[in-house]
């Protein structure tokens, strides 16, 4: 029986998930896993030795060498052949994301996170300083908690929400990098929502939330003046309650995650097959 792979610790999710040449070649994209990306970040960006990298990732130095060699071959393939480079999947678990003080959720509980400021839905995901968490059981909210984010940036915030065991996020505007990070974390997105955070969470719990499935924030691509409201990119409102099959729970739309079993109870390890 083959030995189970040890999960590789990564510091967090990246802010950027896709890189493309000016002229796409039409060739199959190159997919770099998050553990491969982490070796590039630690060795080439941070200047660590392979021994230091191995210690940070919780794996053997020989494993670091193998992962790093694979990552560099993929970078070379993308650069030389003019292929798109995508970052996703892998056999990894996130390091501590600053969510230690957050209440544990029940087995049958859906946890909704809302970007939060003064009772309202904060309209720019990447700069939110607080989330309000709502635990839902049998279609009703049973507990609430306001938590500081302990960081900023799309990747860091998505990692924080994963560590906080969020199943769904309600927000205003949100960039494509953040959407990729949330998808990797297995968190369902309800964007383009404004108004009261409590009312939106209640509506999602009841399956009646109006949201924009195409909501995004273009602030990273265009330079808006002060006062730009990222959340106002709405098309026709989408009602989450009218597009589900029978028995569907809005919050449980996770990608396939694999628990490597290296450490019992370590739910942070994700392995994506077929990447």
**pLDDT tens digits, residue range 97-152?**
667 778 888 889 999 999 999 999 999 898 899 999 999 999 999 999 999 986 67
Is there a domain that residue 102 lies in?
A: no
Residues 114 and 232 in one domain: yes
Q: For position 182, which CATH number holds?
A: 3.30.420.130
If one compares 69 and 274, the residue with the highest pLDDT of the two is 69
Instruction: Give the range of the structural domain holding residue 223, as residue numbers without chain letter.
Output: 110-242
Average pLDDT along the chain: 81
Same structural domain, 177 and 267: no
Mean pLDDT of 192-196: 95
pLDDT band at 233 (very low <50, low <70, confident <90, very high): very low
Q: How far apart are CA 233 and CA 97, in angstroms?
A: 30
Does residue 193 fall inside a structural domain? Answer: yes
Res 262 pLDDT > 90? no
**Pair 61, 177 in one domain:** no
Which spans in the chain are helix H? Answer: 34-40, 50-57, 61-81, 154-163, 176-185, 197-206
> How many domains does the chain divide into?
2
Tell me: do 83 and 132 sit in the same domain.
no
Domain shared by 154 and 49, yes or no: no
Say if residue 33 is in the same domain as residue 152.
no
218: tokens are 């273009």
- In this predicted model, what pLDDT tens digit does every residue of 152-182 receive, in sequence order? 778 889 999 998 999 999 999 898 889 999 9
Does the global pTM surpass 0.85? no
| Cβ count within 10 A of residue 24 | 11
> Which regions of the chain does DSSP assign to beta strands (E)?
8-10, 18-19, 30-32, 85-87, 91-94, 110-117, 120-121, 130-137, 140-148, 168-170, 188-190, 210-211, 238-239, 270-271
Asked if residue 197 belongs to a domain, the reply is yes
Asked whether residue 45 falls in the same domain as residue 154, the answer is: no
Which pLDDT score is estimated for 38?
96
- Could you tell me if residue 230 is inside a domain? yes
Instruction: Tell me, yes or no, whether 252 lies in a domain.
Output: no
Say if residue 145 is in the same domain as residue 226. Answer: yes
In this structure, the answer to whether residues 232 and 261 fall within a common structural domain is no
Phi/psi-derived region of residue 86, left when phi > 0, alpha when psi is between -120 and 50, beta in every other case: beta
Does residue 249 sit within a domain? no
Is 174 inside a domain boundary?
yes
What is the pLDDT averaged over residues 177-205? 95
- Whole-angstrom CA distances from 155 to 58, 81, 85, 125, 262 are 21, 28, 18, 11, 25
């Amino acid at each position: 029986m083959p030995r189970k792979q040890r999960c590789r610790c990564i510091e967090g999710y990246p802010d950027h998930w896709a890189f493309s040449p000016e002229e796409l070649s039409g060739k199959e994209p190159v997919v770099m896993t998050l553990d491969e990306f982490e070796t590039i970040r630690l060795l080439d960006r941070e200047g660590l030795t392979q021994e230091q990298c191995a210690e940070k990732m919780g794996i053997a130095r020989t494993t670091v060498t193998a992962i790093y060699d694979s990552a560099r071959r993929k970078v070379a393939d993308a650069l030389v052949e003019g292929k798109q480079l995508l970052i996703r999947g892998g056999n990894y678990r996130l390091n501590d994301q600053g969510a230690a003080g957050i209440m544990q959720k029940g087995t049958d509980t859906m946890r909704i996170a809302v970007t939060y400021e003064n009772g309202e839905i904060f309209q720019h995901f990447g700069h939110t300083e607080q989330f309000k968490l709502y635990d839902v059981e049998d279609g009703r909210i049973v507990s609430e908690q306001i938590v500081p984010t302990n960081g900023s940036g799309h990747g860091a915030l998505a990692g924080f929400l994963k560590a906080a065991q969020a199943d769904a996020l309600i927000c205003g505007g949100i960039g494509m990098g953040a959407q990729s990070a949330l998808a990797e974390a297995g968190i369902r997105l309800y964007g383009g929502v404004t108004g009261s955070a409590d009312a939106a969470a209640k509506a999602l719990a009841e399956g009646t939330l109006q949201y924009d499935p195409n909501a995004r924030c273009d602030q990273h691509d265009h330079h808006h003046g002060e006062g730009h409201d990222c959340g106002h990119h709405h098309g026709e409102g989408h009602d989450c309650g009218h597009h589900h099959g029978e028995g569907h729970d809005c919050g449980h739309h996770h990608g396939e995650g694999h628990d490597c079993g290296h450490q019992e109870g370590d739910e942070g390890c994700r392995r994506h097959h077929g990447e």
